[in-house]
Structure 1
Amino acid sequence: MDSGGFVTARDRQDESECSKRQKCSQGEEDRISNLPDFIIGHILTFLRFKDAIRTSVLSQRWIYMWTYITKLGLHDGVYQINKTTFINFVCRMLLHLNASNINEFHLILEEKYDPYIIGQLISLVSNKKIKVISLRSINECSISCYPIFKCQSLEKLELAMGHSIIQFPSFVCLSSLTALYLVAIRNPMKITCYSSNQSKELTLKFPVLRDYISCDCIWLDVKRVTIDAPLLEKVIIDRQWDYSSNVSHAEIEIRASYVTNYLYRSYVSSETTLLDAAHVAEASIYLSDDSKVNMSGQELKIFVRKLFNINNLKGLILQNLAPMEHYLADISAFGMLSNLCISYFVTIENLLCLLLKSPCLETLVLKYPIYSAKKPLKFAIVPECFLSTLKVVRFAKFAGGQQEFSFAKFVMEKSQVLESISFSCYKLRGAKMKKVKKKIFSVKRSCNIEFSDHLDT
């Protein structure tokens, strides 16, 4: 029924609820809009950059709020515009930012760009007292890092490039850098020196660096690289590409006294790494199976010496000792090594050589069937660790061969403090398994023996 010009109780109730919603909405808007510019900029940092810009349509107050953001993440594949438009867009954004410093700048490029243009972008970012720079390019994107290495506020630097040449100055000193990641994408990344320095030596000083990761990077036309990082804790050098067509003769010296975690995975190459680390607790060394080792015997001997130049090592993982089997006798002793793991391809002779250089070894793990290059086997010398420290031995892939059994028997009979030895049998079932067990249990020993019929890695 029509109420005419009269206001009913229902109308008053609807108006009251609408008024409450408007006041509530207005009150919430006021609380955010009345915040200081830098706080609003910090809030907008958690949005995608495109969404942060869209807030400019909210009101007059919000037109330029996006310029106070402190974190930029840009990807040319997201904006669906051509290369020129994208670069112009990025430049305008960087020029219009009101923040005196940008905490983070992440740039992902799928297209190929002029190196000069990328250099201009890096210069713009470096002038903003940046803390984190991450540059990723799938295609070739050769750049000069000179503007980056002038930025003393930089705390983390990631360069992930595909088939690119990165130019470093001959001397770099970044007082705030704590993490340096040099990562190749799809193809090796080449690092060179653009200085007129004829000796081609690079010195990188990072007083507070904690993490250093180098993946598939080649030091091109560089003789020596010195990384001076006294507080460095983690070092990863990973080279999975075949460098036969990209020969590097650089010597990388890492001056660091507090490294606790070290991983080296590579083909055998003339490029060597010397780690001056007295406190390395754990190290992993993986040598890829490469039959095309293009090094003389003397060069390989030097390579092996430098690779194992870690005196106070406590834990070591080794994979594929075949390329350096003739030079293991020349390496220094592991005076503090307590845990040794062989994960792939080792002869019994090489293993004994390592055991003789590990007087304090407590745990030995063999993750792959071992074999002997000679017949019959002769165990002329008992390693010192057998007499005083070796307590645990694990065969993670015991195949049950005669040579393996001979070594296991040698361990059980000669180890005076051995507490347990375990065999995870590899492809042994039924009658074969029973035969192997009977053979093992027939050995005179004073330790516990454990068997499992599955692969235990």
Structure 2
Amino acid sequence: MPLLESFFMKQEAESASYKPSSCPIYVSASHLKRFRYCAYGFISQCITLVDPLSAHNAFADITLWKCEKDTQTGLHAFLLLKQLNQVKYIKFEGSEVLPPSTGPIFPSFGMLKHLELGLVAGEILLGILLKSPILKTLILKGLKSKFDKELFSSADVPECLQNTLEVVKFGEVHGLEHELWLAKFVMENGLVLKRMSFSVPSWLGNFNVIEEFKEKLFSFKKPFSFAFVEFSSLRGVR
């Protein structure tokens, strides 16, 4: 399919007795501009780009839902990401299918400028950031779970934080300690940061927790001089 520009595949498990095919899928296209893949349940099939460079500068949109009975999901998701290492834009919902051990072995996303993640584990997030040297925008729906604060306090600083990362958006902030540690890591190392924003869920009633979160956040040292740091909630943007 030499002229194909947009690829979209949706894979859905219809019942508990559904048995997915193990037949591999090969995508042969020379000028992909958009690659979209959605899987609900199983990802037993290995998707292979015949020429990974065909996705050069493309938009990749991946939505995955984990199935506890399927042990191949994480592996195939990781292999798919490895082939998309030349894209400029990644939107990845469902990174929880990836085991934390894959974080350190991610390929280099040398062209990636925009990264949007759903709920993500700290190890996976750090692994991607360390391999994305020219990232400019990072959008996070939220952190999947608590992580050891030493994960970020002792980690190498990603190159993008020092040279290119300008916008960081945190979604669904609850004022928890691990959220604060990640924000601290970004704030103290973001040398070219221009905007940093936090969204508070509308159902979160304890605004005292968020006020304390803000006080601690603004007490950290800031290497930047002109960045906007804002919070959005039911009471508007501050």
Same fold (TM over 0.5): yes
2:104 maps to 329
Q: Deviations over 1:28-83 (max 9, x none)?
A: xxxxxxxxxxxxxxxxxxxxxxxxxxxxxxxxxxxxxxxxxxxxxxxxxxxxxxxx
Q: Deviations over 1:350-393 (max 9, x none)?
A: 10011111111000001124433436544321111011100000
1:251 maps to 24
Aligned-residue CA RMSD (Å) = 2.4
Q: Does 1:359 align with 2:136?
A: no
Q: Deviations over 1:191-221 (max 9, x none)?
A: xxxxxxxxxxxxxxxxxxxxxxxxxxxxxxx
Q: Deviations over 1:81-101 (max 9, x none)?
A: xxxxxxxxxxxxxxxxxxxxx
Identical-pair percentage: 33
Work out which of the residue numbers 181, 197, 212 in structure 2 matches 1:406.
Answer: 181
Paired AA for residue 435 in structure 1: E
Paired AA for residue 63 in structure 2: Y
> How far did 1:291 drift?
1.1
> How far did 1:400 drift?
1.0
1:452 maps to 232
2:85 maps to 311
Where does 1:157-176 land on structure 2 (aligned, <5 Å)? none
Q: 1:262 & 1:455 partners in 2: Cα distance? A: 38
Q: Does 1:283 align with 2:60?
A: yes
Note if contact 2:65-2:97 (Cα within 8 Å) is conserved in structure 1.
no
Paired AA for residue 249 in structure 1: S
Q: Secondary structure at the match of 2:231?
A: strand
Paired AA for residue 399 in structure 1: H
Q: 1:242 & 1:380 partners in 2: Cα distance? A: 42
Work out which of the residue numbers 153, 174, 199 in structure 2 matches 1:424.
Answer: 199
1:232 maps to 4
Note closer, same or farther for the CA distance 1:431–1:270 as it changes in structure 2 (3 Å cut).
closer
Note if contact 1:274-1:307 (Cα within 8 Å) is conserved in structure 2.
no
Note if contact 1:304-1:328 (Cα within 8 Å) is conserved in structure 2.
no
Question: What is the aligned length?
Answer: 224
- Which structure is richer in relative contact order (CA contacts within 8 A, separation 6 or more)? 2
Q: 2:184 & 2:149 partners in 1: Cα distance? A: 16
Paired AA for residue 379 in structure 1: S
Q: 2:13 & 2:175 partners in 1: Cα distance? A: 35
Task: Name stretches of at least 5 consecutive residues in structure 1 with no aligned partner.
Answer: 1-228
Note if contact 2:114-2:135 (Cα within 8 Å) is conserved in structure 1.
yes
Note if contact 2:13-2:42 (Cα within 8 Å) is conserved in structure 1.
no
> How far did 1:311 drift?
3.0
Give the number of the structure whose alpha-carbon radius of gyration is greater: 1
Note if contact 2:188-2:221 (Cα within 8 Å) is conserved in structure 1.
yes
Q: Secondary structure at the match of 1:451?
A: strand
Note closer, same or farther for the CA distance 1:375–1:416 as it changes in structure 2 (3 Å cut).
closer
> How far did 1:310 drift?
1.7
Q: 2:182 & 2:74 partners in 1: Cα distance? A: 28
Q: Secondary structure at the match of 2:129?
A: helix
Work out which of the residue numbers 263, 271, 286 in structure 1 matches 2:36.
Answer: 263
Work out which of the residue numbers 122, 145, 154 in structure 2 matches 1:348.
Answer: 122
Q: Deviations over 1:276-329 (max 9, x none)?
A: 32334211111102111143xxx9546522343023211111112222223343
Task: Name stretches of at least 5 consecutive residues in structure 2 with no aligned partner.
Answer: none
Note if contact 2:96-2:144 (Cα within 8 Å) is conserved in structure 1.
no
Q: Secondary structure at the match of 2:172?
A: strand
Q: 1:379 & 1:354 partners in 2: Cα distance? A: 16
Where does 1:174-213 land on structure 2 (aligned, <5 Å)? none
Q: 1:242 & 1:308 partners in 2: Cα distance? A: 28
Q: 1:455 & 1:306 partners in 2: Cα distance? A: 41
> How far did 1:401 drift?
0.4
Note closer, same or farther for the CA distance 1:280–1:238 as it changes in structure 2 (3 Å cut).
farther
Q: Secondary structure at the match of 1:406?
A: helix
2:94 maps to 320
> How far did 1:440 drift?
1.5
Work out which of the residue numbers 281, 293, 308 in structure 1 matches 2:70.
Answer: 293
